[in-house]
Amino acid sequence: MKDLDGRISKRASIVHGLHLGHRPDELAELYHVSLTTIYNHFNRFKAEGSAGLADKAKSGRPAKATEDYIKLLEATLDIDPQTQGYAFTIWTQAR
């Protein structure tokens, strides 16, 4: 329950509350989650132990930015735009 990730701590608290005898509907209201979420956390904990409380990897589109691009971007953000001939003084997402 001392995990740095708040989601894991919340899930551990829910499972602990069930262990102490609190009703699932009480915990759902207390933690502002659905009853289904309470049961999902409990079942994952029962099947996988504490490892089941962590988020599962999610699929998605791979990142377009390469590691070299990210390094160049970070270096550029450290430079004052006016020294590069721009009229503005700060970088924005659009710039």
Res 52: pLDDT? 93
71 shares a domain with 49: no
pTM for the whole structure: 0.59
Cα-based angle 92, 94, 95 (whole degrees, multiple of 5): 65
Q: Is residue 44 part of a domain?
A: yes
**Interatomic CA distance for residues 79 and 89, integer angstroms:** 10
Res 59: pLDDT? 85
Q: How many domains does the chain have?
A: 2
**Interatomic CA distance for residues 15 and 48, integer angstroms:** 13
CA 4 to the chain's CA centroid: 11
70 shares a domain with 32: no
| Torsional class of 61: left (φ above 0), alpha (ψ -120 to 50), beta (otherwise) | beta
Q: How many residues does the chain have?
A: 95
> pLDDT under 50 in the chain at which residues?
none
Which domain range does residue 23 map to? 6-53
Amino acid residing at 36: T
